[in-house]
């Protein structure tokens, strides 16, 4: 067998760039200790030149037909994609093992009328077949393959001419041209590049499934996320059946849009009214519970904030938070102590956003601080109240985005009272009927109305 000539490059595991020499600090992204040695075959460069692509006039492009999005048949998926799959787009779908990536990818396939290729190097064709049967997925145009060489996958694409290719997962495919193992930075980068070319040159949609690391980001070079058009994550945990599909990046639609699903034995089922799901088991006869309309992408979803404050019995008081920013909670506790005279220094504080939703919207501040105060003072809050507002260091309540959409969602679920920033309330064009809106300028005013 002829020996391939290879050269050594140093690849950064943080940014994915390569360098001819080793450095302690990556010259591209300035991270320390991230360069590793890789052998790259020189053969790869041969013939990769080819003809340069011509440029096109914008007017010619505008005169052509508008590219049609292909609906996936799953409304929640289409919402997150921005209205369906665009031909020529590259999509990255990430999530923890077992969260439902393969399930979701398989479920969208029957919607495609032309050929579709599902490449799974993780499972055999029979295993995918079994899952397809369980999910009731059947389609004449669906081709399954367990090929894991990128060159082989490209050959199959030429043969089948699909309009969608799914790669499950990028960590298991590799290129013959590189000596490194599948899943390594250089392999992911190379295969990602080839799939990008495939999508753009053939104008087909390519969906890449990727595993996530412990930190919750897609394993492999960050560059993969820069390369693709859309980055989707499936979130959720083992304790809950619902799954949240979120777009972290979308070149063709709003990012941070979410779709809510329920994992059942026949696959991921869409949840039409997420607020109802998140509030289903709520008890309104205990202190420390408030409701906040979170804005997830363009859609408001009502979530329950629960707080529990108790005496710290062992040394340093504990602060524990789920679904909300830890530092933000510390700030709110300081505001509670300093501006509202509720002593928190010797208390354990637990805050939980029910249902596993993660909220980084500052508009949740008022609901969080009120839940904590309600538990600390052990006072029940009036039923059917919604709290919205960002809290500043002075205890002032600041305005939030899209108050009306949030109020409408609360109203549709039968809530009767809203406490919101005065500045927002004054700006509202017309106040919705059937719901009372009270404007407040600081946290003290809100507490005065509630306790
Ligand atoms: N026979 C089954 N009946 C019901 N649910 C199943 C069955 N097999 C797998 N599942 C569900 O599907 C999930 C696996 O989904 P999958 O799409 O393979 O995840 P991923 O591809 O993200 O690793 C499991 O966590 C489980 O909840
Ligand atoms: Mg899988």
Domain boundaries, the chain: 6-42, 67-272, 277-450
Least confident interval from 45-54, 195-204, 348-357, 412-421:
45-54
Query: For residues 117 and 26, what is the distance between their CA atoms, to the nearest angstrom?
Result: 38
Decide if pLDDT at 43 tops 70: no
Q: Token match 């590189």: residue? A: 178
Atom of ligand 1 nearest to the CA of 168: 21
Nearest to 400 by CA among 416, 414, 418: 418
Closest-CA residue to 256 (of 58, 116, 402, 366): 402
Residue 122 C-alpha to ligand 2 middle, in angstroms?
Answer: 7
Whether ligand 1 lies within 6 angstroms of the CB of 263 is answered as yes
Total-model pTM: 0.79
- The band of 1, judged by pLDDT with boundaries at 50, 70 and 90, is very low
Q: What is the CATH number of domain 67-272?
A: 3.40.50.300
Name which residue sits closest to atom 14 of ligand 1, judged by CA: 98
Closest CA to 251 of 198, 177, 196, 183: 196
Smallest CA separation from ligand 1 atom 16, residue: 100
Report the separation in Å between the CA atom of 264 and the middle of ligand 1, taken as the mean of its atom positions: 9
pLDDT, tens only, 86-125: 999 999 999 888 899 999 999 999 998 889 999 998 888 8
pLDDT at 222: 75
Residue with more model confidence, 405 or 2:
405
Please give the average per-residue pLDDT across 326-355, as a whole number: 93
Closest protein CA for atom 9 of ligand 1: 265
Question: What is the reported pLDDT for 115?
Answer: 92
Considering the domain delimited by 277-450, tell me its CATH architecture. Answer: 2-Layer Sandwich (3.30)
* Total residues belonging to the chain: 451
Using CA atoms of 249, 254, 258, 259 in order, give the dihedral in degrees to the nearest 10. -110
Which residue puts its alpha carbon closest to atom 15 of ligand 1? 100
Q: What is the mean pLDDT of the chain?
A: 88
What is the reported pLDDT for 209? 94
- Name the β-bridge partners of 245: 234, 259
Ligand in closest contact with the CA of 171:
2
Residue 63 in contact with ligand 1 by CB distance below 6 A: no
- 137 Cα: distance to centroid of ligand 1 (angstroms): 15
290 lines ligand 1 (CB under 6 A): no
- Which of 92, 93, 101, 103 to mutate for ligand 1's pocket (most ligand atoms within 8 Å of CB)? 103
Identify the nearest ligand to the CA of 94 by its number.
1
Tell the residue nearest (CA) to atom 26 of ligand 1.
98
Ligand 1 neighbour 101 (Cβ under 6 A): yes
379 CA distance to ligand 1 centroid (A)? 43
Considering the domain 6-42 in this protein, what is its CATH number? 2.20.28
Question: pLDDT for 139-164, tens place per residue?
Answer: 889 999 999 999 999 999 999 999 99
| CA 148–ligand 1 middle distance (angstroms) | 22
pLDDT of residue 438: 94
Q: How far is the CA of 262 from the centre of ligand 2 (A)?
A: 17
Per-residue DSSP letter, 132: H
Report which ligand 1 atom has the smallest distance to the Cα of 263: 27
CA of 101 relative to ligand 1 center, distance in Å: 9
Among residues 63, 79, 101, which one has the least CA distance to residue 268? 101
Continuous H helices in 204-363: 223-227, 274-279, 326-340
Q: Which pLDDT band, with edges at 50, 70 and 90, does 272 fall under?
A: confident
């Amino acid at each position: 067998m002829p020996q391939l000539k290879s050269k050594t490059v140093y690849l950064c595991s943080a940014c994915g760039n390569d360098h001819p020499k080793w450095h302690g600090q990556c010259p591209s992204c300035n991270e320390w200790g991230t360069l590793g040695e890789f052998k790259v075959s020189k053969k790869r460069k041969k013939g990769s030149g080819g003809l340069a692509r011509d440029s096109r006039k914008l007017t010619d492009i505008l005169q052509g037909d508008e590219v049609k999005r292909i609906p996936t048949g799953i409304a929640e998926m289409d919402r997150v994609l921005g209205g369906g799959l665009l031909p020529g787009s590259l999509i990255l779908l990430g999530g923890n093992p077992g969260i439902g990536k393969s399930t979701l990818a398989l479920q969208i396939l029957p919607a495609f009328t032309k050929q579709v290729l599902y490449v799974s190097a993780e499972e055999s064709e029979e295993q995918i077949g079994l899952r397809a049967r369980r999910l009731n997925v059947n389609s004449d145009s669906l081709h399954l393959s367990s090929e894991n060489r990128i060159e082989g996958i490209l050959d199959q694409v030429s043969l089948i001419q699909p309009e969608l290719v799914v790669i499950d997962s990028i960590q298991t495919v590799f290129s013959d041209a590189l000596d490194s193992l599948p899943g390594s930075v250089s392999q992911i980068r190379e295969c990602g590049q080839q799939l990008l070319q495939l999508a753009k040159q053939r104008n087909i949609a390519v969906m890449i499934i990727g595993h996530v690391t412990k930190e919750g980001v897609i394993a492999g070079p960050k560059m993969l996320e820069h390369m693709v058009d859309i980055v989707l994550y499936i979130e959720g945990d083992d304790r809950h059946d619902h799954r949240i599909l979120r777009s972290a990046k979308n070149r063709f639609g709003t990012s941070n849009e979410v779709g809510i699903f329920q994992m059942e034995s026949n696959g991921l089922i869409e949840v039409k009214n997420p607020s109802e799901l998140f509030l289903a088991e709520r008890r309104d006869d205990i202190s420390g519970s408030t409701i906040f309309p979170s804005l997830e992408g363009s859609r408001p979803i009502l979530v329950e904030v629960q707080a529990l404050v108790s005496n710290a019995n062992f040394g340093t008081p504990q602060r524990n938070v789920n679904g909300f920013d830890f530092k933000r909670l510390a700030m709110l506790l300081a505001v509670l102590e300093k501006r509202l005279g509720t002593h928190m220094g010797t208390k354990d504080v637990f805050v939980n956003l029910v249902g596993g939703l993660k909220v980084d919207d500052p508009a949740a501040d008022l609901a969080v601080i009120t839940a904590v105060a309600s538990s600390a003072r052990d006072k029940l809050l009036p039923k059917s109240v919604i709290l919205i507002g960002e809290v500043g260091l002075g205890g002032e309540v600041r305005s939030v985005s899209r108050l009306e959409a949030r109020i409408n969602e609360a109203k549709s679920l039968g809530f009767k009272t809203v406490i919101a920033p005065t500045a927002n309330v004054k700006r509202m064009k017309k106040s919705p009927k059937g719901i009372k809106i009270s404007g407040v300028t600081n946290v003290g005013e809100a507490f005065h109305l509630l306790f």
